[in-house]
A and B are shown apart, each in its own frame.
Chain A
Amino acid sequence: MNILLFSILKAAAVVAFLGLNAFVLIWAERKISGYIQRRYGPLRVGGPAGVFQSAADILKLVAKEDFVPGGADKWLWTLAPAVALVPAVLVYLVLPIGRTVVLQNLNIGLVFFASVTSFTLLGIFMAGWGSNNKYSLVGAMRAGAQLFSYEIPLILSTVGVVVATGTLSLQGIVQAQVTHHEWFVFPQILGFIVFYVASLAELNRTPFDLAEAESELIAGYFTEYSGIRWAMFAIAEYSNLFTTSALGVTLFLGGWHGPWLPGWIWFLIKSYVLVFVGIWIRWTLPRVRIDQLMDLGWKFLFPVSVVNVLGTALYLMVR
């Protein structure tokens, strides 16, 4: 009974963090994009610097009509936002937030993370197919091609770290960085670059946001979505942005390791710095073409990540 209660509390904490994270990140994204374009961004809705903009947005989205397009496949269409949200919630299970703060220290944490995040594609595809809209379907197809081809360099880039530490547990990887007094970003710089670029592509963010390219596909797979269903997609997307950055921090930037402050604060600081870099990139680089995207994935990131894995293994053998 106690265990059940504790599990429910943990789940509630994760969902609360999910909402709060989307809240803060949507506001931050609009604010940062505003300042990069020398505007102020949201200011008038309330709170200091307009922080309650997201609250107003959520209220507006909840109050909207629950609209189902005429030719939609109703089951797929209504289930898709939930399917997109589930992996976003599940990955919090293995994130090592602090020295002792981790929901479940799985010994295959990294595999769990990679396999769960690939479920996002299912939600995207259900949305694209169920909408019965050509833009949605093209967007979903693009997302499929993109996510499949970037999953490989993403996972291969983390293999270097796994080879170096000999563990798949995320907490174990952080522990190894602490004991070696060295963050893996320095020896695994190639791996980190490949990981970061591939994770941006996995998250469907500019410069790789072909799946939802506004200028060609309106909004890609969620063209037909509005109201709370659209909000679920947005929450999942921003949660994935945070969790992927958090995985990068865990693997390459020492996780919760840092002086003076408690571990979980270091973890949040590092994660949000990576999130900021993602937003910064989004508002700097233009969108790539689909063939350039495939070129980058298969002809550059894939060989580089393979070379990184082989180099790491060779170094560990001859050392």
Chain B
Amino acid sequence: MALWERLWNTGKSMVVGHGITIREMLRKPVTVRYPEEKPPFERGSRSVPVLKVNEETGLLNCVSCGLCERSCPPSCIEIVQAVGEDGHRKPWPETFQLDLSHCMVCNLCVEACPFDALEMADVVELSSYQVQDLIFNKEQLAELWKTSRALRVAGGERLDAEEAVAAGTPARP
């Protein structure tokens, strides 16, 4: 009796198993052939800090206070404050350099920024054959911000609570 049961179970499981494999074989592969095809990147993923641009004035939100520079663990941010013709320091950066080859994507600069001038972008295709090409200046960082679709709370499109939940990330206050 047990023998017949075992035989029956063996046969049944083999038929079921082969059915599964042939069905999977006839379905479309899930592989995304990356450089040729792009997978859909999720909204709200974060890659590198980029500089926000104020939509009304077209200027950077950054006032060059240097808090991000100090908070950066690998010291990949370098800010030089602008000095006007009158010899006074001005509230915008002369240079804002971010060395992506050192950046560890920790988000600490964004948290340190009191003026909401930095944001983590979702741009991931930043690889380069030259290390020099990974040092971004402020214009390049502002351009990156424009191409980023990351969640924006101020200075760009504003997501409401439902939209943010739908995107998988709760809206920041």
A residues apposed to B, CB below 8 Å: 32, 34-40, 43, 280-281, 283-285
Contacts and interface: CB of A to CB of B under 8 A. Distances in A.
The B contact surface, by secondary structure, is helix
A39 B29 contact: yes
B132 interface: no
Contact of B21 (A34, A39, A283): A283
A40 B20 CA distance: 18
30 contacts: A35-B24, A35-B25, A35-B26, A35-B29, A36-B21, A36-B22, A36-B24, A36-B25, A37-B24, A38-B24, A38-B27, A38-B28, A38-B29, A38-B30, A39-B29, A39-B31, A40-B29, A40-B31, A40-B33, A43-B33, A280-B18, A280-B21, A280-B22, A281-B18, A283-B21, A284-B14, A284-B17, A284-B18, A284-B20, A285-B17
A295 B32 CA distance: 44
A18 to B, nearest CB: 28
A34 B24 CA distance: 10
Contact of B29 (A34, A283, A284): A34
B6 to A, nearest CB: 10
A34 B27 CA distance: 12
Contacts of A40: 29, 31, 33
A285 B14 contact: yes
A63 to B, nearest CB: 27
B28 to A, nearest CB: 8
Interface residues of B, number: 15
Contacts of A283: 21
A38 B17 contact: no
Contacts of B20: 284
A17 B33 CA distance: 34
Contacts of B17: 284-285
Closest 3 CB pairs of A and B: A284-B21, A35-B25, A36-B25
Best-buried of A34, A35, A285 by chain B (most CB within 10 Å): A35
Contacts of A281: 18
Nearest to A32: B25
Contacts of A36: 21-22, 24-25
A40 B32 CA distance: 10
Contacts of B31: 38-40
Contacts of B27: 38
A107 B21 CA distance: 41
B17 to A, nearest CB: 5
Contacts of A38: 24, 27-31
